[in-house]
Structure 1
């Protein structure tokens, strides 16, 4: 923790300040024998083709008008309407992928309708049933008026859905039928609808239990990877796969023990995808809890692949500068570094539209509307929020004020009182983090307060 106190002297003091200095202070290539800890003797690293050192592919397919068909699930809940607009992709074989989503041109346009997909497991003739993709418009994004939001690259997007290794797909998007005026009217679908199919690549994933991936076969660190690691230099060696846990420092009033954190190197981030500079805010006063709404059909051994897929979906498909969350926690409670810039620093995320300044976002991998979150994952969120809030003197069981940057609950400039550990829906009208996970936030706060010594 004393290292953390020294680190505070160079935390960036103003919103919107970027820093590329780290990229200049490290060598362009670092020998693995010097940069990385030795892999366990039992590890058997997967060997990748020389031309794909950090693989991953996104296939983008334009949606087209299709004939109406009964939607999956409850076929009586939404009768076919000949005037309803529907677009989709008919059943077809494609290159291998594991995560799907739908994007469109204008991020300010809502997709008011239902999105469904079915997939074929790789190497089989077996097709899944129809699965719903959460539309979750607007709520996960950079704040209005920021450079990230105004980059011209940002698109509207659904939540990503993890389907596992697949090589066939079919999707349909049906516009909502509006009845509020008493006269049915069909909502127009956004323009430029595209199906995004993400292959996370073949980096060797960890076994259950939270060990980071074995990336020792990837060769020397690139400049971008070295820069992303160098900002954690006070906490772990350059190129480390994991930042180790540390004990609580009793001299720090609100400090908690640092939990172990799998680094971006540890989950296999392709650092050439993101924008090179790091973006900081002033402080971390509030932790917003999210779920990724990507479904629960993943194993803990697939967590790194799922995170790589979400990262690629956020950057390549949605046009963000980096993954939106500051941290992610899987169902086994393993904690992962999210947006690059340093786990102890106030990195500006794109997780809670209107409240990304002076906050952090931590997302539980999965969907928790009706599914109860595992206790290990709840504990993981409590540990990372207790530690990170404690670095900035914030009481995990307290309240504070943030100023809205503009959203659908609070206008820009409104000072809003929030719990220091809040759910996404506390800052934006959304279902996130799901009713079941939201109902566990009291437990998160009480656990986090205990970790802080309260």
Structure 2
């Protein structure tokens, strides 16, 4: 059922089509762009910092006090890859604005030079190195203007309140070459910067994912989407997930209200085509390319499929957990959305992630975000469950993600969908927020480090800051069948084509390892008994078994790193 909007609608564009914009892209990209951004910079920078010291607001963490609402779906391109009316609604405004600004620039050319040149009018917030090598946000001209350079651009659109957004498309997991998707949102009356939404380098090992990763908000009520590139992905959709999702609602142009949005900067981060070492903590280095094992891996993650143990109805410290963990029952995981039973495997590595999105959420909104990520992963992306084993908000609150993660026997973890290729053999823990240009809070880093130390200590690993072999099950950055030498605690970008967990987040891996090491020296109790029902299995087991060689591995026995050809490596 369509929910009526209160104000004006998107005006019909009178035969306006995407092809009519192609010749004007380069002209629009060169005209003078809004020069009023400098005044916004300090405000925007302060809004990006995750202020964990704020008093938590009251909130119903299970979501039972909130009214269920449909997931809003915006169709942005057709099945043939043409922009829809919604998808091209903002392009006319950009052309009109560009013409007006160009005329103003011509008239002003006889006067004194402006303070900002055309190339400096659109700003980017990027991560650089400050004093003593500390990561710091800098303000530079943006390489891409999501409005002036757009092939697809919506109007700024009012929508019902949502906490998680994500883009999906038809066809392969990779976007067309050179295509970049941007999103900005309005929270509490203020527009966020433009954020680049990466194609997801996560998902189950038995299927491809044609989508971006989740984008979290502090309860946004308006959006503007942009696609930059020479072609558009077919069937592009934007999903907006509320606190208590129930059903889905496709919004047509007549259902949407346009609003006003001042120019905002772009969050830019160098694509991590190669793993980057942290500038502050030297321990966060690239994976070794020298053979660390013999001709066959020393330890094979042995997957087992078991029934999910019952979870506690409230935050728990079972299994010797070093911090209280908000269980699935407490944050309100809806059982009907889950179709992927827990599968346990031997595991001895921790992969650190961030969710991307804004850092504006309150403590009372964290559970809403987790429920939104759960729906996006389990239903929209059809994974059947949330991909992360654990999530940590900026206040240091830990949430159980993948079913069975809290109850996992010592030395094992419920196989997730957080890092394709190495979902088996790892625990995935995600810091909620975007840590490209700002640092995770101390409370967040402490909780991540303690959870990593708890997990590795239970696995009998004494050197949590060391390196060990990690088997690759599905080709992403590295070839399936390889065993790569990786730090026990690593970043997602070390094993995938992604900037996750952000440049600043990645630079904090050394601090996380130090916290994990300290946690590893702390006595911990808890049961380590194994589940009673055990059978050999693995995600996509039939497909994997058909690919196994005589040595029991996918392809020939190997040692060291075999980089894949995917992503240009």
Distance 1:72 1:357 in 2: 43
- Displacement after TM superposition at 1:355 (Å): 0.6
* Equivalent residue in structure 2 for 1:57, among 70, 74, 80: 70
Answer yes or no: is the 8 Å Cα contact 1:136–1:158 preserved in 2: yes
C-alpha distance 317-88 of structure 1, shift in aligned 2 (>3 A): farther
* Equivalent residue in structure 1 for 2:313, among 240, 246, 252: 240
Residue in 1 that maps onto 2:337 = 273
Residue in 2 that maps onto 1:295 = 358
C-alpha distance 399-121 of structure 1, shift in aligned 2 (>3 A): closer
- Displacement after TM superposition at 1:281 (Å): 3.8
C-alpha distance 397-81 of structure 1, shift in aligned 2 (>3 A): closer
Residue in 2 that maps onto 1:139 = 201
SS of residue paired to 1:157:
coil
* Equivalent residue in structure 1 for 2:482, among 414, 432, 444: 414
SS of residue paired to 2:337:
coil
- Is 1:284 matched up with 2:347? yes
SS of residue paired to 1:361:
strand
Matches within 5 A, 1:304-453: 304-345=367-408, 346-395=413-462, 396-453=464-521
Residue in 2 that maps onto 1:254 = none
C-alpha distance 48-404 of structure 1, shift in aligned 2 (>3 A): closer
Distance 2:62 2:498 in 1: 42
- Is 1:109 matched up with 2:177? no
Residue in 1 that maps onto 2:561 = none
Answer yes or no: is the 8 Å Cα contact 1:344–1:388 preserved in 2: no
* Equivalent residue in structure 2 for 1:173, among 218, 222, 227: 227
Residue in 1 that maps onto 2:15 = none
SS of residue paired to 1:269:
coil
Distance 1:46 1:402 in 2: 36
Higher helix share: 2
- Structure of higher CA gyration radius: 2
Distance 2:516 2:380 in 1: 35
Residue in 1 that maps onto 2:164 = 99
Stretches of structure 1 that go unaligned for 5 or more consecutive residues are 1-42, 176-185, 204-229, 248-256
C-alpha distance 119-382 of structure 1, shift in aligned 2 (>3 A): closer
Residue deviations 1:236-265 (CA, integer Å, cap 9, x gap): xx6421113676xxxxxxxxx532111011
Residue deviations 1:1-45 (CA, integer Å, cap 9, x gap): xxxxxxxxxxxxxxxxxxxxxxxxxxxxxxxxxxxxxxxxxx996
Aligned residues: CA RMSD = 3.3
Answer yes or no: is the 8 Å Cα contact 1:54–1:270 preserved in 2: no
Residue in 1 that maps onto 2:327 = 263
Distance 1:73 1:44 in 2: 36
SS of residue paired to 1:379:
helix
- Displacement after TM superposition at 1:132 (Å): 2.7
- Displacement after TM superposition at 1:341 (Å): 2.0
- Displacement after TM superposition at 1:76 (Å): 6.7
Distance 2:379 2:221 in 1: 20
Stretches of structure 2 that go unaligned for 5 or more consecutive residues are 1-57, 78-82, 99-120, 125-140, 247-306, 523-569
Answer yes or no: is the 8 Å Cα contact 2:62–2:332 preserved in 1: no
C-alpha distance 336-87 of structure 1, shift in aligned 2 (>3 A): same
Answer yes or no: is the 8 Å Cα contact 1:54–1:268 preserved in 2: no
Residue in 2 that maps onto 1:30 = none
SS of residue paired to 2:371:
helix
TM-score, normalised relative to structure 2? 0.55
Answer yes or no: is the 8 Å Cα contact 2:317–2:323 preserved in 1: yes
SS of residue paired to 2:428:
strand
C-alpha distance 56-329 of structure 1, shift in aligned 2 (>3 A): farther
Alignment size in residue pairs: 346
C-alpha distance 134-325 of structure 1, shift in aligned 2 (>3 A): farther
Distance 2:387 2:370 in 1: 11
Answer yes or no: is the 8 Å Cα contact 2:62–2:331 preserved in 1: no
* Equivalent residue in structure 1 for 2:217, among 121, 141, 163: 163
SS of residue paired to 1:312:
helix
C-alpha distance 354-394 of structure 1, shift in aligned 2 (>3 A): same
